[in-house]
Amino acid sequence: MVFMTGAEAFIKSLEKENVEIVFGLSGGAILPICDAFNESNIRFLLARHEQGAAHMADGYARASGKVGVCLATSGPGATNLVTGIATANIDSSPVVAFTGQVPKDLIGRDAFQEVDIIGVSASITKYNIQVRNPNEIPYAVKAAFDISNTGRKGSVLVDIPKDVQTSAEEMHFPDKVAFKGYRIIGEPDPRELDWAATLLARAQKPMIMAGGGVIASNASSELLKLAEFMMAPVATTLMGKGAIPSDHPLYAGGCGMHGTCEANSLIGEADVLLVVGARFSDRTTGSIQEFSANSKIVHIDIDRSEIDKNVETVTRVVGDAKLALKGILKRLEKVRETGSPDSPWIKKMKEFREKYAIPEPRDNPHFKAPSVIKTLRKILPRNAIVTTEVGQCQMWAALYFDTYAPRTFLTSGGLGTMGWGFPAAIGAKAARPDVTVVDIAGDGSFGMTENSLATSVEEELPVIVLILNNRMLGMVAQWQRIFYGRRYVAVKLGKTPDFVKLAEAYGATGIRPGDTMELEKAIKDAMDSEVTTVIDVPIDPEENVFPMVPPGRGLKDFLVEA
Amino acid sequence: MEQTISTIAFLVENKPGVLFNVTNLFRRRGFNIESITVGPVENQELARMTVSVKADTKVINQIVEQLDKMVDVIKVKRLDPMRTVMREMVLIKINTIDPMSREEALKCVNEYHGLILNIEPDSIVVEVTGEPNTIDEFVRKVQPLGVIELSRTGVTALEKGHLKL
């Protein structure tokens, strides 16, 4: 037992969780906690908008696998976090948000900068809690970290009234907290593993669809072993990109609305589809009725409530993906031979691969988005981390940027939050300062959080922002072209701003390459630069992302041109 | 999809915000909760809730899973109507200015094994307990006599035999 203030106990609790860095902004209702940072080595990284702070914490969490921490004041500080918390939660990223709150006796009286953030954040967090007494702080912080980073990961919000930060009490720092209602099923039920293995053992055309859960549970090597043993092609969901190296012979590419024709076709043909750590989002499945209609589906997920939520499965394994994959492989090895690389199924895969091979894109003479991304990939080291914004740039990145390791392709999948990529890149750089970090951006998305340039420059976290600049909200424009007869509304962004000058105004480097050679040089220079570089690449406003499955259609109904 | 009334019972942490979080899940799917009852159980740290809701069976099963994963929800169970006793209570104030209707009302109350809790010159307040259907029936019967107001508690339920949450 130690006697200290709530703010001091808060800092001590973070230290006990080995927190190195907090992304946030100060403000009235969080002043006592801000002050307590003076007595700590924890780095307070000052964002310029709370949304940016939350995305930075999210990027940090996804790149490192550790909990990302963000902090804001009450009222507008807290509501500005909302988009960031929701983005992290739906992508199962472990983020803990701390908010200041007006003193307890003012709560409910519409005090200055008072918002009921517990009510607001209830449906976009895994858990939230308001601390009512200083001596509850160590418990609440411990609980927040535990809940955020175990089971199906997610965001947790802890709201701390100002008087709770300032009052002092005897504090006890627990090493463990327990909840009666929080149970994590890690180890799968052996019977479920038996059933899954039985089904997979009989498969003639096995296919694996890997989601973000494979990355969250660090199960990539188990996934590869199983895929190679069965000779099963692997498709990834958007969140699963990186679960298997893009140059692996069994990798069929991404699946879903902007998946590869190869992956989407194979999913339609498979007889058993093993889905690992994915939640059958509408963007992944297309029409639910038509999804993988010829296959029996085996679903591995740590969250029982995901089973049969969107797609009916034949059998399921509830538990940690790594353990589940290991358990299935162990059983399969006893009853089935290693798959043959000459099987008709693998031939089918090769046939699709050849049939739908995309010709090497070229900048001819103007930049083409796919070719810009290929140029970037060629120059970056294999371990570079890429974040994306949302829209066309994101889908081009998903299709054309080869990824070789988990946690190197970070994107806002579930919420599709424009403006996520840049602050997330800064967070990723904070987690992995030794690695090159690039945000593949669009001009629309980048504009939403461009003020994070100040943070990246002042906090010396240099990243590269590669803007595929079409002066359009490109994906919406693409839909208006294809589905609304080119009747553009609210998509043309005009000529401003000049992103080169904008970067320079923040003390970053801005450059607008004129051709592929200049682009290559710009990327190389940016990798060596000590400040953030914004590379503004003008592309054709009319360029579409293909392949594309029109909304509501089955995955095999992909379009390859307009 | 067929909509039926489901009764779901849960044990939850007895603290502020839990009721909000639970009902929020039903709201998100657009379900109107038919009734909800809450009260502490043997151990004061926990409360037991009983929710009845009209919804697709499939969606209800999924909501039960989602409720189960909430940190403050300790146990959830969809109750099998064949293996459950259910009770609801209604308090009802009946206009009795007309002596005939007073007599009629008292007859009904007797028939449903109700209690008379208050008698005024021109009105009575009565209590009737029973299965929700029985309550509906009783209310329909006294309606023509002139119901001034009524208040129903909502369903509370326990499983038969040694089963427990």
CB contact (8 A) between residue B71 and residue A181 = yes
CB contact (8 A) between residue B70 and residue A181 = yes
Going from N- to C-terminal start, the domains of chain A cover: 2-171, 190-355, 369-538
Dist CA A5 CA A366 (whole Å): 61
Best of A136, A305, A313, A318 to disrupt the B interface by mutation (most B CBs within 10 Å)?
Answer: A305
- Reported as a pLDDT band with limits 50, 70 and 90, residue B1 is low
pLDDT at A364: 78
**Which of these is catalytic: A39, A112, A330, A524?**
A112
When the pLDDT of each residue in chain A is averaged and rounded to a whole number, the result is 96
CB contact (8 A) between residue B71 and residue A127 = yes
Put simply, whether B12 touches A (Cβ < 8 Å) is yes
List the one residue out of A506, A386, A491 whose CA is nearest residue A454: A506
Q: Is A113 a catalytic residue?
A: yes
Instruction: Tell me the pairing of strands A251-254 and A272-276.
Output: unpaired
Put simply, whether A120 touches B (Cβ < 8 Å) is no
| Structure confidence by residue, pLDDT tens digits, A358-392 | 888 888 789 999 999 999 999 999 999 999 999 99
**Which of these is catalytic: A126, A153, A162, A205?**
A162
As a three-state string, the secondary structure of A123-143 is: HHCCEEEECCCHHHHHHHHHH
pLDDT at A41: 97
Please give the biggest Cα pair distance in chain B: 56
The per-residue b/e assignment along A45-61, b for 16 or more CB within 10 angstroms, e otherwise, is bebbbbbbbbbbbbbbb
Residue B159 to residues A194, A314, B162, Cα–Cα distance (Å): 33, 31, 8
Chain A residues touching residue B62 (CB < 8 angstroms): 305, 308-309
Put simply, whether A127 touches B (Cβ < 8 Å) is yes
Residue B88 to residues A388, B38, B48, B137, B146, Cα–Cα distance (Å): 55, 13, 15, 13, 22
Please determine whether the domains at A2-171 and A369-538 fall in the same fold group of CATH. Answer: yes
CB contact (8 A) between residue B24 and residue A305 = no
pLDDT at A361: 84
Best of B61, B71, B77 to disrupt the A interface by mutation (most A CBs within 10 Å)?
Answer: B71
Q: DSSP states of A408-420 as a string? A: SEE---SS--TT-
- Reported as a pLDDT band with limits 50, 70 and 90, residue A480 is very high
Do the beta carbons of residue A449 and residue A422 sit within 8 Å? yes
Domains in chain B (CATH in brackets) are 3-79 (3.30.70.260), 85-156 (3.30.70.1150)
CB contact (8 A) between residue A118 and residue B65 = no
For tokens 């009737």, what's the residue? B128
First to last CA, chain A: 69
| Structure confidence by residue, pLDDT tens digits, A217-274 | 999 999 999 999 999 999 999 999 999 999 999 999 999 999 999 999 999 999 999 9
Q: Is A162 a catalytic residue?
A: yes
Apex CA A254: angle with CA A248 and CA A258, to 5°? 150
Chain B residues touching residue A127 (CB < 8 angstroms): 71
Provide the number of CB pairs (under 8 Å) joining chain A to chain B.
39
Structure tokens at A407: 């946690």
pLDDT at A188 over 90: yes
As a three-state string, the secondary structure of A398-409 is: HHHCCCCCCCCE
Write the ipTM.
Answer: 0.88
Orientation angle between helical segments B18-28 and B57-68, nearest 10 degrees: 150
Q: Which range has the worst mean pLDDT, A240-244, A291-295, B57-61?
A: B57-61
Within A336-469, residue ranges assigned H as helices are 344-355, 369-379, 392-400, 421-431, 443-448, 452-458
When the pLDDT of each residue in chain B is averaged and rounded to a whole number, the result is 92
List the one residue out of A424, A408, A409, A465 whose CA is nearest residue A95: A424
Spell out where A172-318 has E strands: 206-210, 234-236, 251-254, 272-276, 296-301, 315-318
Q: Which fold has domain A190-355?
A: Rossmann fold (3.40.50)
- Reported as a pLDDT band with limits 50, 70 and 90, residue B43 is confident
Put simply, whether A107 touches B (Cβ < 8 Å) is no
Residue A536, φ and ψ in degrees, nearest 5: -95, 105
Q: Which CATH class is domain A369-538?
A: alpha beta
Structure tokens at B158: 């326990």
Residue of chain A nearest B72, judged by CA positions? A181
First to last CA, chain B: 28
pLDDT at B52: 94
**Which of these is catalytic: A113, A225, A368, A518?**
A113
Do the beta carbons of residue A417 and residue A83 sit within 8 Å? yes
Instruction: Tell me the pairing of strands A168-171 and A155-161.
Output: unpaired
pTM: 0.95
Best of B25, B49, B69 to disrupt the A interface by mutation (most A CBs within 10 Å)?
Answer: B69
Mean of pLDDT values over A523-546:
97
| Structure confidence by residue, pLDDT tens digits, B98-113 | 988 899 999 999 999 9
Structure tokens at A468: 């595929």
What is residue A262's three-state secondary structure?
Answer: helix
- Reported as a pLDDT band with limits 50, 70 and 90, residue B12 is very high
CATH number for A2-171: choose from 3.40.50.970, 3.40.50.300, 3.40.47.10, 1.10.150.20: 3.40.50.970
Q: Residue type for A80, please? A: N
Structure tokens at B127: 């209590």
List the one residue out of A230, A27, A186 whose CA is nearest residue A115: A27
pLDDT at A372: 97
Q: Residue type for B64, please? A: V
pLDDT at B101: 87
- Reported as a pLDDT band with limits 50, 70 and 90, residue B2 is low
Q: Is A112 a catalytic residue?
A: yes
As a three-state string, the secondary structure of A136-191 is: HHHHHHHHHHHHHCCCCCCEEEEEEEHHHHHCEEEECCCCCCCCCCCCCCCCCCHH
Partner residue facing A303 (CB), from B13, B69, B73:
B69
| Structure confidence by residue, pLDDT tens digits, A412-451 | 999 999 999 999 999 999 999 999 999 999 999 999 999 9
